[in-house]
Structure 1
Amino acid sequence: MAVSSPLAAGHPLFFAPHRAMFLSGTVMLVVVFFLWAVEIAARATILPSLGWVLPPGWAHVLLTVGGAFPFFVFGFLMTAMPRWQGMGEIAASRWLVSWRLLALGWAAAIAGLWFGPLLAVGLAIVLYGWMRLAAVLWTVAFRSRPDPLHARAAWWGVAGGGLSIFAWLVFALGGGAGWARVGIEAGVWWFLLPVFFSVCHRMVPFFSSNIIPGYVIVRPRWALWLMLGASFVHGALGMVELDGWRWVVDLPAGLVALWLGIRWRPVAAQRVRLLGMLHIGFAWLSIALLLCAAQAVASQFGWHGLGLAPLHALGLGFFGSIWLGMVSRVTLGHSGRPLAADRLTWSLFLALQAVVLLRILADVAPAVLSPLLMLAAVVGWLSILVVWALRYLPIYLRPRADGRPG
């Protein structure tokens, strides 16, 4: 009897957008951090570096922020946003070609790290696929009712991500280093932070209200607008190299994130692990923003001792923790499985918190220790990704456990 290919039409991988997107994003995360582990190992030893055509740090940000995380963003928004807006599911015909474009484009872009011309080709393909997906989400987000606040905020984040890819493309075509800076700043502050915060602002209080007795939802619109505005200004100041003034927006944004995190009752949320993960992950946002503010103020006096610690508190702490908690939740819930984190998933999450602390320590440690601590952190994170992938990726290749579509 013939066995159908995993890429054949009608395979469970394509039953819902999050399946193909999450699988591709996970594979890319593993590939990207394997490459980064090799690069960090070369720094910590006498091994040769990977010889990329881009500075290694830039390549790392490009592949992580612009490459891996967007698969999860699109997979989540394509699945959740229609529900927010009271619409039916998005047909595969509207996203499948774009998913293939993203996968093909990033495969070419990764090869382009060694063969320069392919980098621009890959980024052009990615940008086209990105624009197609943004166009689909536009038709969902820009509806008069129900309340489109979070859908539109997330969409503008997606638009910021498209601008980041465009800036990277201009750089790959011969633009100056300033375009790479725009790509980095827009990717983190105009794309990922707006999308992640918009999702948390909507979903964390909602999930909590279903678990915690007597829970009162605290979700002020002004907090969302303040965070989005602060994130935009932070990125813009970075683009024009006025990093020392970022504290003006980072300090109030960090205090608002701290206030929200407390009002959302994180201690009570720990009775359910999947919910507790989201609260712990959100706590990293206030830590990261307050570290950013401290770093900006210190830089006015010529002190730069925090290095990339604020960025890693944001990227690995906030984005990474919310990724693990939210993607695990969506994967379980949309596969007909119980919404409960098993011991392995919870252990991986706790291990991630240790990795975040280790990576931050590497940024402030003496120079002789920093490479070894960085290597330990990246190996730890890569191990978490591999184990998580072995646990969850097979789910995307099987029909729902409850027999329902999706």
Structure 2
Amino acid sequence: MRQTTALPPSGLSAMYLVQAPHRLMFFIGAGNLLLAMLWWALWLASARWPGWTMPQAPIYAGWLHAFLMQYLVLPSFIFGFLLTVFPRWMGLPALQRSHYVPVGAGLMGGQLALLLGACGWERGLVLGLWMALAGWLTGLAILGRLLAQERERTWHAWSCLAGLSLGALGLVAFIAFALGASAFWVMFSIKIGSVGLLLPVYITVAHRMFPFFAGNVVPGYRAWRPMGWLAGMWTLLLLHLVLELSHAHAWLWLADLPLLLASVFALWRWWPRARMPGLLAVLFIGTAWLPLTFVLYLAQSLTYQLTGQFVLGRAPMHALFIGFFGSLLVAMVTRVTQGHSGRPLVMPPVAWFSFIAIQVVAAMRVAAELMPDALVWQVLAAVGWLLAFLPWVTHIGSIYLSPRADGQPG
């Protein structure tokens, strides 16, 4: 049975955070989201304008920024979602707070310690990394135990667990680098974080949930989610990962071209042909950034093969992170938050603002790679990220600190 405690009848209270996994983990993710980008915006500003100084982190700030976003910010939301839906997918009892509170403590405490380490606290970096690993492995063990208990194989759950397991490997690699291993391991960690962890998990959730959501509200919609497509995407992503780690950048197109075709085909099959509510439309609009990402990766690879230059820089990566991951973060978290708080399944104005703003920020950050003064545009994109997410984070944060609107538990 779910643990219960006496709660205030109304008003904001931190006691509500532990009533469900998504409440706690989404609240932590929202805090991590703003704190990580605030530090990064300040660091970028200090790099562009010498009159503004920031403490030098023990690890190159760009690598630390990538690590925070890949292993602490977005995974806080991922764990919150999976700890909520795994029992439902498998027909098992909901998890108790003793299962998910340690996960949240590790990820939140880990990021706070890491940011303090980046600002001058010498022990913060290593302490934060070990806290993050402890929280991560706890979450992985809980999800793995649920899979071991299910009577039938839920392939989407196994796919998510595979991504999180690769993420644990990447987290260990980053710790090894922080403890003195070669720079190969930090690059190994960053590449796994995007192509081995986040992208497979996002694609898996989209493959399972988006057709399901559309089928519930669009008359005559025919769900399309063959497992062969998901297996093919996994194979191609692993090929992309191996080519990147081997520095075979001129041959990445061998993976990126079929990834582009497969993502375009899936988007075409998933997209409803009838009118759909905004809360559903944002899922497919955000997914459109995925084929655009592979267009940029493909152009980058072919250009490198011809000229030996990375003319697009980190544009493909930021189309993926800000455009695809950022858009679907707003879309999915808003949907889960509305539904699990007893509110109507609609896209609130504050969520629309954040979703539209993040499209602008993504375009700005992609274009920054081609601008004469790229660092100025990077600063503007980082500040734009904060402005885009701050109202939305404030809105959903107040929901997690409040009772459900329908008076139900959870």
TM-score by length of 1: 0.94
Residues 19-168 of structure 1: matches in 2 within 5 Å?
A: 19-50=23-54, 51-113=56-118, 114-142=120-148, 145-168=151-174
Measured in 2, the distance between the counterparts of 1:138 and 1:376 equals 41
Would the alpha carbon gap of residues 390 and 257 (structure 1) be closer, same or farther in structure 2, given more than 3 Å must change? same
Q: Which moved more, 1:112-121 or 1:273-282?
A: 112-121
**8 Å CA contact 2:319, 2:362 repeated in 1:** yes
Aligned to 1:179: 185
Measured in 1, the distance between the counterparts of 2:104 and 2:161 equals 17
Measured in 2, the distance between the counterparts of 1:288 and 1:23 equals 29
1:398 aligned onto 2:389:
no
Aligned to 1:250: 256
SS of equivalent residue, structure 1 residue 95 = helix
Aligned to 2:282: 277
Deviation of 1:343 (Å): 2.1
Measured in 1, the distance between the counterparts of 2:153 and 2:216 equals 20
Deviation of 1:116 (Å): 4.2
Residues 208-227 of structure 1: matches in 2 within 5 Å?
A: 208-227=214-233
Deviation of 1:19 (Å): 0.7
Which of 347, 361, 375 is the equivalent residue of 2:379?
375
**8 Å CA contact 1:309, 1:360 repeated in 2:** yes
Measured in 1, the distance between the counterparts of 2:106 and 2:360 equals 36
Aligned to 1:330: 336
What are the Cα deviations for residues 346-392 of structure 1, in whole angstroms up to 9, with x where unaligned?
A: 12211111111111111122x33x22222221111111111111111
Aligned to 1:290: 295
**8 Å CA contact 2:218, 2:272 repeated in 1:** no
What are the Cα deviations for residues 260-299 of structure 1, in whole angstroms up to 9, with x where unaligned?
A: 1011125646x31111111011111111122112211211
Measured in 2, the distance between the counterparts of 1:128 and 1:166 equals 11
**8 Å CA contact 2:341, 2:406 repeated in 1:** yes
Deviation of 1:239 (Å): 2.2
**8 Å CA contact 2:133, 2:171 repeated in 1:** yes
Aligned to 1:307: 313
SS of equivalent residue, structure 1 residue 300 = helix
TM-score by length of 2: 0.93
Aligned to 2:3: none
Aligned to 2:210: 204
Measured in 2, the distance between the counterparts of 1:107 and 1:354 equals 29
Would the alpha carbon gap of residues 110 and 267 (structure 1) be closer, same or farther in structure 2, given more than 3 Å must change? farther
SS of equivalent residue, structure 2 residue 341 = coil
Is there any run of 5+ residues in structure 2 with no aligned partner, and where? 1-6
1:387 aligned onto 2:388:
no
Would the alpha carbon gap of residues 147 and 272 (structure 1) be closer, same or farther in structure 2, given more than 3 Å must change? farther
Deviation of 1:236 (Å): 2.5
Deviation of 1:145 (Å): 4.3
Q: Which moved more, 1:151-160 or 1:376-385?
A: 376-385
Deviation of 1:140 (Å): 2.1
Measured in 1, the distance between the counterparts of 2:394 and 2:150 equals 42
Look up the equivalent residue of 1:298 and give its one-letter code: T
Would the alpha carbon gap of residues 55 and 262 (structure 1) be closer, same or farther in structure 2, given more than 3 Å must change? same
What are the Cα deviations for residues 157-212 of structure 1, in whole angstroms up to 9, with x where unaligned?
A: 11111111101110111111111011101111111011111000000111011122
RMSD of equivalent CA atoms:
1.9
**8 Å CA contact 1:142, 1:152 repeated in 2:** no
Which of 241, 251, 262 is the equivalent residue of 2:268?
262
Q: Which moved more, 1:232-241 or 1:347-356?
A: 232-241
Q: Give the % identical residues.
A: 37
Q: Which moved more, 1:308-317 or 1:49-58?
A: 49-58
